[in-house]
């Protein structure tokens, strides 16, 4: 029994690395991993899924705003390449998960969700600065 518990715990951890629904999935990553990706990768989009007002107050430099509420079962003009790396965040992590699930269902294949700007240790900019 003592050997089974660590095995089950590690299986649960591994299952949480990729989140799926209906065969489509996205990857949940840490803030640290998101920062590492932004430093090492070149062709990616930082996607802020908060409202336009929230985005204007403060956002990660280079992020584009496509509010979660506007992501539906149609094409998204701001995201034309379905295989491009998309790093998704919101305020606290709830809307980014919802948006990542929607993007995966729409056929986006390289989606990474990293939570909320409330926990972002890096720089932010505002529309007023």
Burial environment of residue 27 by CB neighbours within 10 A (0 to 12, 13 to 18, 19 or more): middle
Catalytic residues: 90
Helix (H) or strand (E) holding 14: helix 4-15
Name the helix (H) or strand (E) containing 11: helix 4-15
């Amino acid at each position: 029994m003592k050997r089974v518990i660590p095995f089950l715990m590690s299986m649960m951890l591994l299952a949480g690395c990729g989140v799926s629904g209906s065969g489509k999935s996205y990857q949940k990553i840490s803030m640290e991993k998101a920062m590492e990706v932004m430093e090492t990768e070149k062709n990616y989009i930082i996607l802020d899924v908060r409202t336009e007002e929230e985005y204007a107050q403060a956002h990660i430099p280079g992020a584009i705003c496509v509010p979660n509420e506007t992501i539906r079962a149609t094409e998204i003009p701001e995201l034309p390449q379905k295989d491009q790396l998309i790093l998704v965040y919101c305020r606290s992590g709830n809307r980014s998960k919802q948006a990542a699930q929607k993007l995966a269902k729409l056929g986006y294949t390289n989606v990474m969700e990293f939570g909320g700007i409330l926990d972002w240790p890096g720089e932010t900019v505002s529309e007023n600065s």
